[in-house]
Structure 1
Amino acid sequence: MTPRLAVSACLFDREGRVLLVKRRNEPYAGRWSLPGGRVEAGETLAGAVHREVLEETGIVAGSLTLLCKITAGEGQRTFEISVFFGTVDRPAQAGGDAVATAFVQRAALARLAETEDTTPDLIKIVTMAQQRHREADGTLASGGS
């Protein structure tokens, strides 16, 4: 079966904290993840990631850069997810498929992952995005690593 297209955004604030949303729906309902979701018919990946960030966090995202593509799920619930990264400079408010939002330091993210309260590979993706961000402009804080 062909995977469904999806997007997510790894967004950092000025202190280097990553923006997470707590998922309302399956897959992974109740777990912390990056804002994102399915690409709608006729929508570009960039359009989809900006729409999803707005729906789930109330934030109009600025410029986002493609980080990687990952495959997640299995069977009929397999997704090819295009992961973007960037920065935000305003608070978030949960909406859409998100029941909560939080800006999280790296150490707190590791604690969440230990209790399986995050989606698979979340730390790996956040770490990759932090590295790419530092390489791009060198301004991202360490985020409490």
Structure 2
Amino acid sequence: MSSTQHEANVARGLKAAINNPRVSDEAKESAQQRLDNIEGATTEQPTTEHENRVMGGYKATLSNPNTSDSAKQHAREILDAASVEDYSGSNQAEFDEHQTRVLAGYKAALNNPRVSAEAKKHAETYLKEQGAL
């Protein structure tokens, strides 16, 4: 395990202790101090990988049909402020490919003898809702 992963695990544990009602106030204060030290050391220069994941989350927000318009607008603002280029087209293609694979999986379930009748009924209902059957 890398030291970065170890620090992340420690930080998660400290956050859990801070929010645990069974932990004493003294222990919560100590955990908060340790967390501040860890976050102070790690948040000065965020990693490129972390930034990519965050921006990827905002990109995914734009193509998620269950996301509100205000959340999509916020995601656009963040991506524009970060000068992320071409965030609409490539993500839509990935979303379309994902949807195609989901539908193919449900269609395969209909013909699989090891799938229960209940699961086949669910697959059929989903496919009808999506207009794929």
| Greater percentage in helix | 2
Larger radius of gyration: 2
| Greater percentage in strand | 1
TM-score by length of 1: 0.22
TM-score by length of 2: 0.23
